[in-house]
Structure 1
Amino acid sequence: MPELPEVETYRRFIDETSLYQPIAEIEVQDPKRQLQVDLDDFRRALLGNQFTGTNRIGKQLFLLTANGPMVTMHFGMTGDVAFYRAEADTPRFARAVFHFQSGFRFAFVDSRKFGRIGLTPSVEAFRQQKKLGPDALTLSTEELTQGLAKKKSAIKPLLLDQRIAPGVGNWIADEVLFQAQLEPERSALSLLPAEIDRLATSIREVLETAIAAEAIYRDFPSHYLIHAREWDEAPVATTPNAHLNCPRCQRLIQKKYVGGRATYFCPHCQQ
């Protein structure tokens, strides 16, 4: 599933390939499912227009245009982007294709069709409509303190709340808590100011690391918890022959469900 690091990688790719090219044609394979606006309105807003920049909040991508509204893209479970020229190079699961007057094409690719494309007058209007908090990649200690204020819930599910830290997904939350040495079920209300500062710093550092590695997880630093996760949901800690050890203390990583989400942590390092 594309998380913030993947979407940020997509955003930078679009900046390098698809800006300042007038749009000559638009194809949408299944507009009733994947478009959040009427197809005629979508074409009317974009034909002859051009993308002039990009923005992002969490997993939500925005394509700014020279005239009129901007395009919104959410990548669902399997979304991706592509830039190419020849018809023969069209990705198999291209659901929307923007044909540029230059002859090149930009495609929204999505094998499982859970992604969505729409229009919005501005990033701020979209953020308020969806009640999104400040982007996790630049989240400050002050913003996180405000988001967690008076919250009695466990810190793990709160990190997944897009009103607090848009872009923090399940594995990212586990990694952040591991790096900050905080137990996933710790009450947010119990966090000291220094711990919130450590948590905010870990959020930014984990995301920056993931983006620098272009979301290729095997390239993450060896001290990251992600190397000790079971991605196939196989049992961890309760299995005698499990070999998923904490990269910090070498004790066995444990798995439990917090707020209904599979959570990996080190009971020794995250007390």
Structure 2
Amino acid sequence: MPELPEVEIRRQYLETSSLHQPINYIEVEDKKLLTTDYATLLDKLTGRQFNSTQRIGKNLFVLTDDPNVIVHMHFGMTGDLEYYHASLERPRFARIVFEFANGFNLGFLCPRKFERIGLIDNVETFLQRKKIGPDGLAISLVDLTERIRRKKAFIKPILLDQSVVAGLGNWIVDEVLFQALIHPEQRGDTLTDSQMLHLHDAIYLVLQTAIRHEATYRDFPANFLIHVREWDDSPYDDVEAHKFCPRCSTRIERSVVGGRTTFFCPTEQIL
């Protein structure tokens, strides 16, 4: 599932390819992918142009030259974007296509049809209605501390709760807790000031690292926990040899916390 880093990469892609180009038409192959009626989508966006973008967690907002018309994109499980010239073959899975006046198109790729596009008129109202908290890259230490310490649950499901902090998925939370030396089953209301500082720093470190490497996991630093996971693009022939902590060489443990598969170092992440 696209996490915050992947959605940020898509935001940057849209910004560099698709702004300030009048929209001539929007072709939609499957109307079920829309959260706004198709006729309304056409009426509101034809002749408009994308002016800027904003990302909160895993949600991408595209602002137009009408301040009351904002496109909301959610990339579901495998959504993506592709900007291409209209003379070229339509990309596979481009089930929604924005056709621009300059002869280029922006395809919204929906391989598994879990993706969604629709219109909203105010970002803050949308976030409040959906109970989406501050973005993982923008949340302050003070705000993060307040939001976590009011919870008596395990820290891992707290961080996965999008109303607490937006954009942290399963592998990201495991990595954040590993970098911060915090056990995934420590209760949120027991974290010390020092742990909160390390946690806040780790969130920024992990997200920025993922964005910098364009979410290509094999390129992440060697001291990242992510290398113990069996990704399709793993650079290791002997996966078993990389099931150990890159800092202390203890075998990484695998468990289930909050219903999610969890990896942690039992020596460094002490409960």
- TM-score range for the pair, normalised by the shorter chain length: over 0.9
Task: State the alpha-carbon separation in 2 of the partners of residues 224 and 65 from structure 1.
Answer: 39
Q: Give the equivalent residue in structure 1 for 2:95.
A: 95
Q: Give the equivalent residue in structure 1 for 2:236.
A: none
Q: Give the equivalent residue in structure 2 for 1:236.
A: none
Task: State the alpha-carbon separation in 2 of the partners of residues 120 and 166 from structure 1.
Answer: 19
Between 187-196 and 18-27, the greater mean CA deviation after superposition: 187-196
TM-score, normalised by the number of residues in structure 2: 0.94
Q: Is the 8 A contact 2:50 2:65 kept in 1?
A: yes
Give every structure 1 segment of 4 or more consecutive aligned residues whose post-TM-superposition deviation is greater than 4 Å.
Answer: none
Q: Which runs of 5+ in 2 are unaligned?
A: 233-239
Query: Cα distance, 1:131 vs. partner?
Result: 1.1
Q: Is the 8 A contact 2:120 2:126 kept in 1?
A: yes
Q: Give the equivalent residue in structure 2 for 1:257.
A: 256
Matches within 5 A, 1:52-201: 52-67=51-66, 68-201=68-201
Q: Is the 8 A contact 2:170 2:260 kept in 1?
A: yes
Query: Cα distance, 1:129 vs. partner?
Result: 1.1
Task: State the alpha-carbon separation in 2 of the partners of residues 156 and 36 from structure 1.
Answer: 31
Q: Give the equivalent residue in structure 1 for 2:267.
A: 268
Q: Is the 8 A contact 2:149 2:190 kept in 1?
A: no
> Alignment partner of 1:37: what SS?
coil
Counterpart code for 2:159 = L
Query: Cα distance, 1:139 vs. partner?
Result: 1.8
Q: Give the equivalent residue in structure 2 for 1:46.
A: 45
Q: Which runs of 5+ in 1 are unaligned?
A: 233-240
TM-score, normalised by the number of residues in structure 1: 0.94
Query: Cα distance, 1:147 vs. partner?
Result: 1.1
> Alignment partner of 1:63: what SS?
strand
> Alignment partner of 1:159: what SS?
helix
Query: Cα distance, 1:145 vs. partner?
Result: 1.1
Task: State the alpha-carbon separation in 1 of the partners of residues 54 and 33 from structure 2.
Answer: 20
Counterpart code for 1:165 = V
Residues 1:37 and 2:36 aligned together: yes
Counterpart code for 2:188 = A
Cα deviations across residues 166-192 of structure 1 (Å, max 9, x unaligned)?
Answer: 100000000000000000000111101
Query: Cα distance, 1:243 vs. partner?
Result: 4.9
Q: What percent of counterpart residues are identical? A: 52
Task: State the alpha-carbon separation in 2 of the partners of residues 251 and 89 from structure 1.
Answer: 51
> Alignment partner of 1:230: what SS?
coil
Task: State the alpha-carbon separation in 1 of the partners of residues 253 and 148 from structure 2.
Answer: 26
Distance 1:136 1:74, change over 3 A: same
Q: Give the equivalent residue in structure 1 for 2:24.
A: 24
Task: State the alpha-carbon separation in 1 of the partners of residues 93 and 33 from structure 2.
Answer: 13
Counterpart code for 1:50 = Q
Q: Is the 8 A contact 1:170 1:261 kept in 2?
A: yes
Query: Cα distance, 1:231 vs. partner?
Result: 4.3
Task: State the alpha-carbon separation in 1 of the partners of residues 242 and 46 from structure 2.
Answer: 55
Between 194-203 and 73-82, the greater mean CA deviation after superposition: 194-203
Q: Is the 8 A contact 2:26 2:98 kept in 1?
A: yes
> Alignment partner of 1:182: what SS?
coil
Cα deviations across residues 63-91 of structure 1 (Å, max 9, x unaligned)?
Answer: 10001310000000010000000343321
Q: Is the 8 A contact 1:253 1:267 kept in 2?
A: yes
Task: State the alpha-carbon separation in 1 of the partners of residues 96 and 154 from structure 2.
Answer: 40
Task: State the alpha-carbon separation in 2 of the partners of residues 75 and 194 from structure 1.
Answer: 35
Query: Cα distance, 1:197 vs. partner?
Result: 1.4
Residues 1:227 and 2:235 aligned together: no
Q: Is the 8 A contact 2:21 2:49 kept in 1?
A: yes
Cα deviations across residues 30-64 of structure 1 (Å, max 9, x unaligned)?
Answer: 11x10001100111110000000000000000010
Task: State the alpha-carbon separation in 2 of the partners of residues 53 and 243 from structure 1.
Answer: 42
Number of residues of Structure 1 aligned to a counterpart in Structure 2? 262
Counterpart code for 1:210 = A
Query: Cα distance, 1:201 vs. partner?
Result: 1.0
Q: Is the 8 A contact 1:139 1:204 kept in 2?
A: no
Between 143-152 and 99-108, the greater mean CA deviation after superposition: 143-152
Query: Cα distance, 1:246 vs. partner?
Result: 0.8
